[in-house]
Amino acid sequence: MKFYTRRIPVYSSSFPVKGYSWASLPDGAVVVDLGGSDSHIVRLISEKNPGVRVIVQDVLSVAGEARATVQAESHAVGFHNDDFFTPQTIVADVYLFRWVLHDWSNEYVVKTLRQLVPALRRGAKVVVNESLCPDSVALLILTERYIQYMDLMILAINKPRPRDKGELHALFVEVDERFGPVKCWTLEGVALAIIEVTWEGV
């Protein structure tokens, strides 16, 4: 993943680090990166915000290899062997999905998000960092076309539906009506939006 994102500016890994208010989290806050692979993103988050505890959740074959690499490099990252389709057992302040949900159809996105509900506490955030069907006014034409091209590729391979803000809101409501409104933002020329949804239940 780093190989590609370093060569395509609109997919820079700096945006989820700089584009979200990680510094506003209290000391000891827990961030879980679901499908976090080699922990590249949460390591960057941890370096900028040392008071935040970061954990990567991924399948055993991925998490095991990444754990060995991170331990060798002395990074403070926790690992948990798990997949998206089992109930969440870690109570966290933020659950991060970066470039993950776009791979799945609505049915499986709902199933994935529903697994979070048992662990959610009031005020917990679900943060999604992925392509959002663009507003032509908000993005450069080149970036918009690139996002639409990627949507078509994903659609051809996995048959998920390209999603806009309204569709994402509908998915979260289908999961549980205790999710709050969908908030999203991006920067000019950046292909991956930040999407934030707050759990308003108890």
152: CATH: 3.40.50.150
The answer to whether 199 and 177 are in contact (CB under 8 A) is no
- Alpha-carbon span 88 to 15, nearest angstrom: 26
Identity of residue 149: Y
- Decide if 44 contacts 13 (C-beta within 8 A): yes
How many domains are contained in the chain?
1
Helical H runs in 6-140? 14-18, 40-48, 60-72, 106-114
Residue 124 to residue 134: CA distance in whole angstroms: 26
Q: If 0-12 CB within 10 Å is exposed, 13-18 middle and 19+ buried, where does residue 53 land?
A: buried
What's this model's pTM, rounded to 2 decimal places? 0.81
Structural domain range at position 113: 2-199
Per-residue tens of pLDDT for the chain, all 202 residues: 554 444 454 667 778 888 899 999 999 999 999 998 778 899 899 999 999 999 999 876 555 555 555 554 545 788 888 888 999 999 999 999 998 898 899 999 999 999 999 999 999 999 999 888 655 434 444 445 555 555 555 555 555 555 889 999 999 999 999 999 999 998 777 778 899 999 999 8
Q: Which of 40, 75, 80, 102 is catalytic?
A: 102
CB 16 within 8 A of CB 98: yes
The verdict on whether 75 is a catalytic residue reads: no
For 50, the token pair is 């040392």
CA distance 190 to 183: 17
Q: To which residue do tokens 């205790």 refer?
A: 178
Nearest CA to 54 among 89, 24, 79? 79
Residues sharing a CB contact under 8 Å with residue 108, sequence separation 6 or more, in sequence order: 84, 85
